[in-house]
Amino acid sequence: MELKTQNLVYEYDSGTDYAKRALDGVDITIGKNEFIGLIGHTGSGKSTLIQHLNGLLKATEGQVLWNGRDIYSAGFDRRELRGHVGLVFQYPEYQLFETTVLKDVCFGPKNRGLSEEDAICRAREALTLTGIDEKYYESSPFDLSGGQKRRVAIAGVLAMQPEILILDEPTAGLDPGGRDEILGRVAGIQRETGSTVILVSHSMDDIAEYVDRIIVIDKGCIAFDDVPVRVFSHVEELEKMGLSAPQITYVMHTLKNAGFNVDTDAITVKEAVDSIMGQIRPHF
Amino acid sequence: MFKDITLGQYYKTDSVIHMLDPRVKLAGTLIYIITLFLGKSFFMFIPAAVFLVSMIILSKVPVSYVLRGIKPIIPLIIISSVFNLILTPGNVLVGFWIINITSEGIYMAVFMIVRLLLLITGASILTLTTTPTKLTDGMEMGLRFLKVFKVPVHEIAMMMSIALRFIPILVEETDKIKKAQMARGADFESGNIFKRAKAMIPLLVPLFVSAFRRAGDLAMAMEARCYHGSEGRTRMKPLIYARRDYIAYAIVLGYLGLMIVMAVFGV
Ligand SMILES: Nc1ncnc2c1ncn2[C@@H]1O[C@H](COP(=O)(O)OP(=O)(O)OP(=O)(O)O)[C@@H](O)[C@H]1O
Ligand SMILES: [Mg+2]
């Protein structure tokens, strides 16, 4: 399984006075069992890029290749592709429409041509993965809390069992508790299903802990595409793009400048604590 | 795409016509339309056409834009001229089966086509040079006298502006929900009419839910800012007539006078 973009260019309102180039020559390759963070300042083109990956937007120039086949070529079934590349939009709770939670989650699998029973089976699996309690299965999705709605909506895409799961800012508008819950669930899904997950965000702190590859997009171009540690070493460039390294990176750099021999590559709070404790202990 | 809908057909440029008070333009358009129905002869259309062409030139709107407004009513024009052509009694020129084409029919058909074209083009000059917001403002101010008859003029105008304001938002929202459901494998394009109608449910339910949510939010936000209808409400940009508006009124009235004189003397 491989999803690849080649010199992807996209212009909104192409050919009019309002034409706006949102993507400008994007080349990325997405493989199996990856956990990727897609990061960029607001308006950098993240949402635009991911809508090409399942063929919702048609590139102005360039190609998207699914296992080597051009998804815009005649005869390519883009609806089928959307089952392989699952896309969860920003604020996905606004797409819920069915009378019960379970039925809503079944919508995707049924569109893939599954029978009623198979669809329900997959829906249950997906709801379990997103942590929705069985007692909610028969309630109206409109009666749930914001965070629960969002998890139901994510389950709606997950139930199609996509090989690549893309989530556009899944934590937008949630409190820290809801944020950690969702991100934890997503990380769990990635581990358990072994599928590739692309997490879109504009906050490094959100994704640094989880992902093992970070793609930074700036004004429609790919700025960095590397492992987190190496991306974070470009603090100045990131700041010029309106981004920042995780807060913990700043703490570690400050400590280092103050004369402590701590590990500035620490990304998570836990790594940082270990590193700092390792420095302090000998003094006791 | 939704930028087109927000502005209606509004064409942005600076011309005398654009600067006129919307009330003048509304009244002018109304008078112009009435004059098109004053007479029965082609001569009546000459001053109307001259008036219209001068407005187009003054408005600086490219002719291609003006003509674009005609496109959607072409079917209407065709249907009405066909009816005129075959249903007008008189001197039969060609006749077969129950269809008789008369010379009067041809005259009437051409007459109606010219009248409709002048009418639509005139009306589109109004929308091309006035933003929907200004139009509603103008209507509110112009119809204020109806308050005497307990017509809630301000409230109606406010509803119109809110509706206009929400069109682009709803268009954008529709697009988003549509894409989200397509990402879940929904198919809006294929199948027969029943299948397609059913496929709209996943689109319409969330759209209505969000429209009501937005309406509720907006009502709350308006109340939080002490909105209480028209009573004692002042405007940020009050409509005030300038000298050019009086001149425009004079021109429109002059035109109306000419047309009345022509109609009375049966030219
Ligand atoms: N429907 C649209 N019509 C016109 N321009 C658009 C449209 N959607 C996005 N754009 C423009 O394309 C650019 C990229 O937008 P995009 O939504 O991909 O950004 P983003 O990185 O997802 O931002 P955010 O973090 O705010 O979601 C922006 O400059 C935006 O103004
Ligand atoms: Mg976005």
> Sorting pLDDT into bands at 50, 70 and 90, what band is B3?
very low
**In chain B, which residue's Cα lies nearest the Cα of A114?**
B185
Question: B28 and B154 share a domain?
Answer: no
Give the residue among A221, A200, A216 at the shortest CA–CA distance from A23: A221
Question: B167 and B104 share a domain?
Answer: no
Beta bridge partners of A214: A37, A226
Question: B37 and B126 share a domain?
Answer: yes
The count of other CB atoms within 10 Å of the CB of residue A100 is 14
Instruction: Give the ipTM of the model, two decimals please.
Output: 0.88
Find out whether A157 and A85 touch, Cβ atoms under 8 Å.
no
Half-sphere exposure of B135 (CA within 13 A, CB side): 19
Sign of CA dihedral A255, A259, A260, A263: positive
How does pLDDT run across A71-82, given as a tens digit for each residue?
A: 999 989 999 999
Question: B192 and B223 share a domain?
Answer: yes
Residues of B in contact with A89 (CB under 8 A): 176, 179-180, 183
- Is the distance from the beta carbon of residue A19 to the nearest atom of ligand 1 less than 6 Å? no
**Mean pLDDT lowest among A21-35, A201-215, B58-72, B83-97:** B83-97
- Is the distance from the beta carbon of residue A202 to the nearest atom of ligand 1 less than 6 Å? yes
A20 alpha carbon to ligand 1 midpoint, in Å?
9
A29 alpha carbon to ligand 2 midpoint, in Å?
20
Structurally, chain B folds into a number of domains equal to 2
Which DSSP helix (H) or strand (E) runs through A196? strand A196-201
Indicate which atom in ligand 1 lies nearest the CA of residue A23: 14
Question: Which ligand lies nearest the alpha carbon of A45?
Answer: 1
Which pLDDT score, from 0 to 100, does residue B192 have? 84
Rounded Cα distance between A55 and A136, Å, is: 33
| Chain B touched by A76 (CB under 8 Å) | no
Give, as one character, the DSSP assignment of residue A60: S
Mutate to test the interface with A, among B6, B11, B184, B203 (most CBs of A within 10 A): B184
Question: B96 and B187 share a domain?
Answer: no
Whole-model pTM above 0.95?
no
Give the residue among B121, B133, B15 at the shortest CA–CA distance from B69: B121
Question: B137 and B104 share a domain?
Answer: no
pLDDT in tens, chain A (284 residues): 899 999 999 999 887 777 899 999 999 999 999 999 999 999 999 999 999 999 999 999 999 999 999 999 998 999 999 999 999 999 998 899 999 999 999 999 999 899 999 999 999 999 999 999 999 999 999 999 888 999 999 999 999 999 999 999 999 888 888 888 889 999 999 999 999 999 999 888 888 888 999 999 999 999 999 999 899 888 889 999 988 888 888 888 888 888 888 888 888 888 888 888 888 776 65
Question: B98 and B169 share a domain?
Answer: no
Of the candidates B176, B183, B202, the beta carbon closest to that of A87 is on: B183
Beta bridge partners of B142: none
Q: Which domain holds residue B192?
A: 132-233
Which DSSP helix (H) or strand (E) runs through A120? helix A116-129
Question: B125 and B248 share a domain?
Answer: yes
Rounded Cα distance between A179 and A75, Å, is: 41
Contact B206 A97 (CB under 8 A): yes
Rounded Cα distance between B129 and B142, Å, is: 18
How does pLDDT run across A170-179, given as a tens digit for each residue?
A: 998 888 888 8
Rounded Cα distance between B53 and B59, Å, is: 10
CA separation, residue A278 to residues A270, A271, A272, B50 (Å): 12, 11, 10, 90
Find out whether A54 and B183 touch, Cβ atoms under 8 Å.
yes
Q: Is the pLDDT of residue B2 over 50?
A: no
A167 alpha carbon to ligand 2 midpoint, in Å?
10
